[in-house]
Structure 1
Amino acid sequence: MRVLAALSGGVDSAVAAARAVDAGHEVVGVHMALSRNRDQLRTGSRGCCSIEDAGDARRAADVLGIPFYVWDLSAQFEQTVVADFLSEYQAGRTPNPCVRCNEHVKFSALLDKGVALGFDAVCTGHYARVVEGPDGSRELHRATDAAKDQSYVLAVMGPERLARALFPLGDVVSKEQTRAEAARRGLSVSAKPDSYDICFVADGDTQGFLRDRLGSRPGEVVDADGTVVGAHDGAYAYTVGQRRGLHLGRPAADGRPRYVLAVEPVQNRVVVGPAEALAVTAVRADRAVWFGDAPAAGTACEVQVRAHGAAAGAQVIRADDRVEVALDTDAALRGVAPGQSLVLYAGSRVLGQATVTGTTGPVSAPTGREPAVRA
């Protein structure tokens, strides 16, 4: 096959490309320039797409003996991933930019351009497995290394894009194995730090990034009964389940910590309350993407709502373009925010993905003044 290997400049993508070469594919390396104003150097483990990263990617391609190109996808990245990030927070939701990047850039813009140029598949350094099902269809499964598994952020790609995806690192047992393999191959990125957090917020200050882009919008922080207990500089900077950074001027009567229960974007208000009000018994979501047929009502499954969160047992209530699941009585899940991805699993297999619209819990979120985005 003719394979387009996405080379980020990190160790994972370099080893994935090397394995694609070993498999006999005709491999071409491409580095995606996603930032309009790229820094010369990376700042430790933060940020991405710097000129340094492009240089590391080029050197990896040279070691592997494959052609290499830099593609400017910054316009697509800004128009989809960054714009979605801002609009979702502005609407009181909590997006996952890695999910949107996989959906709109890596497995849309990059793959579409590759297919137009005659490539058969895109190879990335994601940790996930592709397994052939009993009917010959391709299934997306968790990686062997549970600590590095990235099936959660890949679930949005759907079966058509999965058919043209290669994840050579799916069977790796640990990141140390990947680094050791990179060192054996003479790849200089073998000891390069992993990137983390939001790649386009290089300093890690998400609230500051939102404030710079969306401006200051002072408002109230209120208790569940409507009592004003603090102030904020923009409701968009808060997410359900948040505890730190609330700067409440009035402590709770019982002295216990309070958490964000809801974000009310129309009234520019943040609602806080006790931890037990974050408990979740059911989750609703829309814009579902399924790998195969949607599961029938009553199907037992596991659900995950965060990239590195634990899976919780659940039962499907509804599954078509919209999804609703009831959590098992012993499932410990709380603080689920609208905008997060809900991914359904059957064992290690990904069944599908949808975007959270609301939750139900034993303690209702406040809804008297306007529909709170939690429920």
Structure 2
Amino acid sequence: MAVSDKFQRGPLVPNFLYSPSSSVSNRLIGLENPFLMANSSSSFVAAEPAKLGMVGVKNGVVIPAPNEPARKIKMFSPAFYAACTAGGMLSCGLTHMAVTPLDLVKCNMQIDPVKYKSVSSGFGILLKEQGVRGFFRGWVPTLLGYSGQGACKFGFYEFFKKYYSDIAGAENAVKYKTLIYLAGSASAEVIADVVLCPFEAVKVRVQTQPGFARGLSDGLPKFVKAEGALGLYKGLVPLWGRQIPYTMMKFASFETIVEMMYKYAIPVPKDQCSKTTQLGVSFAGGYVAGVFCAVVSHPADNLVSFLNNAKGATVGDAVKNLGVWGLFTRGLPLRIVMIGTLTGAQWGIYDAFKVFVGLPTTGGAAPPAPAKA
């Protein structure tokens, strides 16, 4: 039986968008070597496929090695975008719900700085007045709102990143990759905030007005009765003002930081790093990106909290009440800690989910420029 000199399969994704997660798993090793044995039926199998990371051929059929996933998601297929959407939903929903106590104190410090003067005193006041359960007031709208937002944010980011790269072409996609990251993340966040806005409005009202409602089930009808259905979107423009710069910084800085970490801080290329190392890079890059995000988006965050707390309030009222300095600084240290941790955890969970379903982690080595014809 004749066996071809070499079996090889190319990368599944354009090299200017992703680096392959494993150089071994992306190609097959030649079969014309001493490790192959012929059996009585003239079929061939690898002697030590698990050890060598190889595959065998039996009756003309490629047999995956035991350590290779039997089924992989094709890049940029509907299944790929569905996986990214599910990963984004998990990463944003779970992390935002986990930091509900910090978010609760931050919102109250923004709304009533006289009563909530510091982080420690804020926690003390909430514990005294509402008990331990009070720290998680508003967790349901937080979980649902940010799950929907995360699903749209990550899913549409992957879509728009590919879409804008295709429009630009391979060479320009490499040359202007940062602009593509910025445009893709901004486009995704516009959609994601439409999903988040009603939940954010109810969450802020529940968290900053004790006695208004216990949570989403009774808070949403009361809010609509008082403000009307359109009142749920009163804070949409300030939310865009907060979230779009935040998300642009979150994705573009993350991609850049991860690329620099693999280039300068990691002694081996990404495709030679273990999955644990790659996920550690994702968390570290996400945390640093989160610090930048908090600073850029904080003034709009103060506006959102003020507008959703005060009925009939305007942006002018918020600036007059908070002052320009207060708009940029009130609650900022706590938000830096919260957003840094939050963003790092989100990228860690998102990339862990991608690895779990057989996809490469986000970001990596600087993409090579395509060869000119």
TM exceeding 0.5 = no
Higher relative contact order (CA 8 A, sep 6+): 2
Task: Looking at secondary structure, tell me which structure has more helix per residue.
Answer: 2
Greater gyration radius: 2
Q: TM-score under structure 1 normalisation? A: 0.26
Q: TM-score under structure 2 normalisation? A: 0.26
Task: Looking at secondary structure, tell me which structure has more strand per residue.
Answer: 1
